[in-house]
Amino acid sequence: MSGPMRLILASASPRRRELLAQLGVVFEVIPAQVIEHEDPNSDPKAMVAHNAALKADWVAARHPEAFVLGADTTVFIDGVVLNKPADLDDARRMLRRLSGRTHTVFTGLALRRVRDGLRLDRGEESRVTFHAFGEAEIEDYLRRVNVLDKAGAYAIQEGAERIVAGHTGSFSNIVGLPLETTKQILTESGLTG
């Protein structure tokens, strides 16, 4: 094999960057310049798988020798996908809907390398239960956390004690990158031991 193995994270998310760094792998970040599919009536598993592959494929086409990891995460409740809120009013609507209830967080992962045709796709889901809360708690949370770049208008790793009652499944998946599954596909590809 020529040269060191190169891993690229095809995401602008600072949370994904922090999580991937926890695996101890060397990587660089090149955000994919794509339009993600974000129809609220989509099948959430299919949507995140599509978007993760879209990001990975876009970057991999431009860096054919590199391993490229794409990921996409969304929140799902009542048969509706909750992506990143359009504005604070949209965030308030999402938090009202999630209050006192359990929702599912879906993440799709795609690992690509054009040089040898590597294509690995995985999905992960976790469940999160929120405390019941009212308008005052919503406003307090919005003052403390920037929710506009987060699916479902919340971050489980920021001020979660105020809104989250509990979760099942991968915590890192809820943040945006399921570490166990990510490590598994990196190992399958030969990137990590």
Residue numbers annotated as active site: 72
Rounded distance, CA 86 to CA 84, Å? 6
Rounded distance, CA 36 to CA 21, Å? 25
| Structure-block tokens of residue 101 | 């209830």
For 35, left (φ over 0), alpha (ψ -120 to 50), or beta? beta
**Nearest alpha carbon to residue 28 among 49, 5, 51:** 5
**Nearest alpha carbon to residue 123 among 30, 34, 48, 37:** 48
Rounded distance, CA 113 to CA 66, Å? 6
| Structure-block tokens of residue 98 | 């999630």
Rounded distance, CA 22 to CA 111, Å? 18
Please check whether residue 115 is in contact with residue 65, taking contact to mean a CB–CB distance below 8 angstroms. Answer: yes
For 41, left (φ over 0), alpha (ψ -120 to 50), or beta? alpha
